[in-house]
Amino acid sequence: MASIFLPFFSAYLMLLLPLVVAQSSAGDIRVGRSIEATRDAKPWISPSSDFALGFHQMENDKDLFLLAIWYYKIPARTIVWYASGTKPAPRRSKAELTADRGLVLSDPRGQLIWRSEFATGDVAFARMNDTGNFVVYGGGSERLWESFENPTDTLLPTQVIQRGDKLSSRHKESNFSKGKFQFQLSEDGNVLLNTNNIVSEFFYFAYYNSGTGDQANKTNSGYQVRLDEDGSFYVLRGNNQRQSFISGDGVHYEDYYHKVTLNFDGVLTLSSYPKNPISSNGNWDVRTTIPDNICITGFNQFGSGTCGYNSICTLKPNKRPQCKCPRGYSLSDPNDEHGDCRADFMQGCEADPQSYHQGLYDLDELQNTDWPTYDQEVISPCSADACKAYCLQDCLCSVAIFNNGKDCVKKTLPLPYGRQDRQVNPIAFVKVRKAEFAHRNPPDISTVCEKRDRNSLTVLISVLLGSSMFVNFILVGVLCMASSFLYHKRVTRNHSNKNGIQSSLCFFNYKELEDATNGFDTELGRGSFGIVYKGVIKSDSRDPFEVAVKKLDRVVQDTDKEFRTEVSVIAQTHHRNLVKLLGYCDEGRYRMLVYEYMSNGTLASFLFGDPKPSWNQRTQIAVGIARGLCYLHEECSPQIIHCDIKPQNILLNDYHEARISDFGLSKLLGVDQSFTNTAIRGTKGYVAPEWFKTVPVTVKVDVYSFGVLLLEIICCRRNVEMDVSDEERVILTDWTCDCFSEGTVDALVENDAEALTEKMKLERFVMVALWCIQEDVSLRPTMKKVLLMLEEMIMVAPPPLPCPSYMLA
Ligand SMILES: *[C@@H]1O[C@H](CO)[C@@H](O)[C@H](O)[C@H]1NC(C)=O
Ligand SMILES: *[C@@H]1O[C@H](CO)[C@@H](O)[C@H](O)[C@H]1NC(C)=O
Ligand SMILES: *[C@@H]1O[C@H](CO)[C@@H](O)[C@H](O)[C@H]1NC(C)=O
């Protein structure tokens, strides 16, 4: 049967064909036509020339193109639809109308980037319609695919949003990746604006809800969102009632283009543009926005809202948000104005010793400003002055919100949903570190050991804990590579002068330093490298400042060049627990290094002097030293072995923060660190046993010395003390071992009430110290692990016993 009819059928088709072609002739796109992604590729234009589909060259990368639909007559490119926003097409990609797959976007090598997805059917032609809808038609003129059914961030007149449909924001104005906001008509008939987690597509709470859903009476619920050609924008309810999003403003909008766009900042705008170019001012007029004021709208619980964390949102006249960082804060990503803000200064309980905390900060008073969530503590009733004082006294407090004379709420960073608006009543007090203290602790994000960001630290730790040694090894390697990359970047950014020494490092001549030290008259200390003098540098441009001048007495480098190379290495080693090198002098036989002055002297005098430092101060100092060492070992390239860790080489600044001095000098002084040296470096009592053996010297010698130092810090006494009542207590390391094995670590801090109240911490510190002084090098932990153990980020296992026997070198 079929064979009989076939010829007739074909003839019938032949007759039909010219009809189809005729139907698609006026500006329609036939199968096989294509556009190539180049700057001046001709787009496919709708018959009235209102809309065009073509390649839009990306602003940030001229080699990338976005397949998009835009208004052809409006000079400023306004994109209303786009394909593959996440992955724009490279230059010379091709968009082609194919018979089987409709519109296909492929890269220059023919790899598929995107295609119009439809169930089945053969494509006859496509049309860029005057409404802005790009439609792919089948042989019977049925619509196989249309851009209106696959919206991106914009709704056009005659386009309809059904239940379950949504618009998604772009990532940024000129980045078309999916952003974090969505506009949708939910299955129960509510029009919602949500933020979502881009990674998981998890919906957070709606920050707008039209309330058109009605669970009980479905016939009343919203079932479509429509934008009409006259610019009316509404939800159509089951009973055919319209619930409008705008109240009529008495203007006839027939001769305007209209569009509804979910902007990258989460604001949905209905805007209009006159079709007649004469009445146009070149801008889209925003007729309404949803929500009315995104800064004070009901974001809650998750995400950071329209601005990033710690940012403050204000509404611009066009009802779009402006995000700005408080004074003393700046954008984490300078290119992302809507991103997070980060303090330019260090703050928090670890950065500031308790007793000095208050004087370090100013409070900025911001009227009509609030961060409404994440309350830490509420004080009520409270006066403004008391509120300020509460925040200044509390090292955890970064911001205090003062409510109308009623109460005071302390808050800790990071804070979302910051806002400043006339409708907002509270006053925000923002703590900003005083300029003179800010530079002492420059933020140093590149240091792994230093990670302040709680989240990433937790992730790091949980990864470290939950993975094998091998993975840890790789991970630490990657982190070190990443940080050394940042480190190098930072170094290269500081312009070097022709000697290869950073220009931030000052060169001094002998005369200048002689004057500064008043003829080298005040001696601060003597070390293995020479004598240290106190000095004052005076200059016209800034206030006089105190320095420590180290006169090196046995530098081996012959040439100035080598000396300068070494100095520049030290100068590039920055960390808040290292003494900073400010300048140098190499004139004739004089070689001197100029360091920042540490007003509180050495740890030795603090620890063994009178009165004794508190337990809290001591533990903070110990952690600070561990951080500094961790930095030298893990993040410097080449790695720096200190070789002489002892209380005399730890200096204390104005706030009794520990700074390690004398690092990086070994090479300068010709000490070969790779193998045992006849001249043992280090100091009696602190040197590791392997100095006496023919094994390579590694960073673990510092770990050993740190262990001894840690015990001294815990017990506030020297490792070897002859005039003690009990002979067993002469050598601290031995005595600690005894105490630990007998379970009497309390005895180590006998008269220290504060330490005795923190028994767990005491035991942890003692165990860490015992791990550090293991004779077997391989048993000693790395400084990184030491730091994690001290900070209670990982568990400390009981150290192996019997203890190493102390070596009197
Ligand atoms: C194409 O545009 C015309 C008017 O310009 C409109 O009537 C028609 O519905 C549109 N077709 C589609 C499929 O959008
Ligand atoms: C757009 O932003 C995303 C997310 O930040 C980023 O991964 C992507 O590379 C950006 N795309 C372009 C073309 O810049
Ligand atoms: C639903 O609402 C419509 C219109 O308000 C009303 O006529 C109808 O009786 C309601 N149905 C129910 C089940 O309440």
The domain locations on the chain are 26-150, 159-292, 312-436, 445-596, 603-790
Pairing between strand 545-552 and 590-596? antiparallel
| 16 has a pLDDT exceeding 80 | no
Pocket mutation for ligand 2, best pick of 56, 177, 197 (most atoms within 8 Å of C-beta): 177
**CA-based nearest residue to 363, from 305, 408, 421:** 408
Give the distance (Å) from ligand 1 centre to CA of residue 262.
23
The share of the chain scoring above pLDDT 90, in percent, equals 40
Q: Name the residue with the closest Cα to ligand 2, atom 12.
A: 175
Cβ count near 803 (within 10 Å): 18
Q: Is residue 47 very low, low, confident or very high in pLDDT (cuts 50, 70, 90)?
A: very high
159-292 falls under which CATH superfamily? Bulb-type lectin domain (2.90.10.10)
For the cut 70, the answer to whether the pLDDT of residue 477 exceeds it is no
Task: Write down the pLDDT at residue 580.
Answer: 87
Banded pLDDT at 509 (limits 50, 70, 90): confident
Q: Atom 14 of ligand 2 has which residue's CA nearest to it?
A: 175
How buried is 36 (Cβ within 10 angstroms: 0-12 exposed, 13-18 middle, 19+ buried)?
middle
Determine the Cα–Cα distance for residues 453 and 369; give it in Å rounded to an integer: 25
Domain 603-790, CATH number (from 1.20.210.10, 1.10.510.10, 1.10.357.10, 3.30.70.1350):
1.10.510.10
Q: What are the DSSP E strand ranges found in 597-741? A: 650-652, 658-660
> In terms of Cα–Cα distance, which of 104, 66, 61, 57 is closest to 88?
66
For residue 24, pLDDT over 50 is answered with no
Tens of pLDDT along 511-540?
A: 889 989 999 998 888 876 788 999 988 866
Q: Which of 28, 444, 586, 644 is catalytic?
A: 644
pLDDT for 605 beyond 60: yes
> Each residue of 112-164: pLDDT tens digit?
999 999 988 899 999 999 999 999 999 888 999 999 999 999 999 999 999 99
Per-position DSSP letters for 483-513, written without gaps between them: HHHHHHHHHHHS-B-TTSSBTTSEE--HHHH
Examine the pLDDT at 191 and tell me if it is beyond 60: yes
Residue 159, token pair as written in the block: 């386009």
Domains 26-150 and 603-790 share a fold: no
Q: Is residue 506 left, alpha or beta, with left meaning phi > 0 and alpha meaning psi from -120 to 50? A: beta
Q: In what order do the strands lie in the sheet with 399-403?
A: 361-366, 427-433, 399-403, 407-411, 375-379
Determine the Cα–Cα distance for residues 237 and 219; give it in Å rounded to an integer: 8
Task: Report the pLDDT value the prediction gives residue 198, as an integer from 0 to 100.
Answer: 60
pTM of the model as a whole: 0.57
Q: What's the CA gap between 591 and 382, in Å, rounded?
A: 59
Ligand at shortest distance from the CA of 215? 3
- 133 ligand 1 Cβ < 6 A: yes
Tell whether ligand 2 has an atom less than 6 A from the beta carbon of residue 84: no
Beta strands, E only, 267-346: 268-274, 285-290, 312-315, 321-324, 329-331, 341-343
Kindly report the number of other CB atoms within 10 A of residue 9's CB atom: 11
Nearest protein CA to atom 3 of ligand 2, as residue:
177
DSSP β-ladder status, 34-36 and 94-98: antiparallel
Count the alpha carbons within 13 Å of 425 in the hemisphere toward its beta carbon: 7
**pLDDT score, position 482:** 42
Place of tokens 């008391």: 386
In three-state secondary structure terms, 459 is helix
The protein residue whose alpha carbon is closest to atom 11 in ligand 2 is 175
Amino acid type, 581: L
Mutation test residue for ligand 3: of 214, 218, 220, 221, the one with most atoms within 8 Å of CB? 220
CB atoms within 10 A of CB 261: 24
Residue with tokens 């390239």: 637
DSSP H helices, 54-150, are none
Q: Cα–Cα distance between 253 and 392 in angstroms, integer? A: 57
Torsion of CA 329, 332, 333, 337, to 10 degrees: -50
| Both tokens assigned to 165 | 């449909």
pLDDT for residue 441 is more than 50? no
551 is in an annotated binding site: yes
* Cα of 215 from ligand 3 centre, angstroms: 12
Give the tens place of pLDDT for each residue, 650-671: 999 888 899 999 887 766 554 4
Q: Could you give the CA distance from residue 257 to residue 443 in angstroms, rounded to a whole number?
A: 50
According to the 3-state scheme, what is the secondary structure of 12-56?
A: HHHHHHHHHHHHCCCCCEECCCEEECCCCCCCEECCCCCEEEEEE
CATH superfamily of 445-596: Phosphorylase Kinase; domain 1 (3.30.200.20)
pLDDT band at 405; cut points 50, 70, 90: confident
Mutation test residue for ligand 3: of 215, 217, 221, 237, the one with most atoms within 8 Å of CB: 217
- The yes-or-no verdict on residue 582 having pLDDT over 80 is yes
Indicate which atom in ligand 2 lies nearest the CA of residue 177: 1
What is the rounded distance in angstroms from the CA atom of residue 659 to the CA atom of residue 440?
Answer: 12
Q: In what order do the strands lie in the sheet with 233-237?
A: 160-162, 222-227, 233-237, 242-244
Q: Is the CB of 358 under 6 A from ligand 2?
A: no
Calpha distance 743→157 (Å, rounded) = 80
Q: Which two tokens stand for residue 299?
A: 């974001």
Per-residue pLDDT of 268-282, as tens digits, reads 999 999 988 787 888
pLDDT bracket for residue 463 (50, 70, 90): very low
Ligand nearest to the CA of 136: 1
Compute the mean pLDDT over every residue in the chain, rounded to the nearest whole number: 80
pLDDT at position 18 = 38
Q: Compute the distance from residue 129 Cα to the ligand 1 centre, in Å.
A: 6
The answer to whether 135 and 126 have CB atoms below 8 angstroms apart is yes
Tokens of 340: 């997070």
Topology of domain 26-150, per CATH?
Agglutinin, subunit A (2.90.10)
Q: Quick check: is 644 catalytic? A: yes
DSSP 529: T
Nearest ligand, CA of residue 126?
Answer: 1
Task: State the closest ligand 1 atom to the C-alpha of 130, by its place in the atom list counted from 1.
Answer: 5
Q: Is the predicted pLDDT of residue 678 greater than 60, yes or no?
A: no
Per-residue confidence band for 351, with pLDDT thresholds at 50, 70 and 90: low
Q: What's the pLDDT score for residue 149? A: 95
Q: Is 50 exceeded by the pLDDT of residue 708?
A: yes
Q: List Cα–Cα distances, 680 to 377, 694, 718, in angstroms.
A: 55, 12, 21
Question: Which has more confidence, 293 or 472?
Answer: 293
Contacts by 38-46 with C-beta closer than 8 Å and gap 24+?
A: 38/65, 38/91, 38/92, 43/72, 44/128, 45/72, 45/128, 46/72, 46/127, 46/128, 46/129, 46/130, 46/132
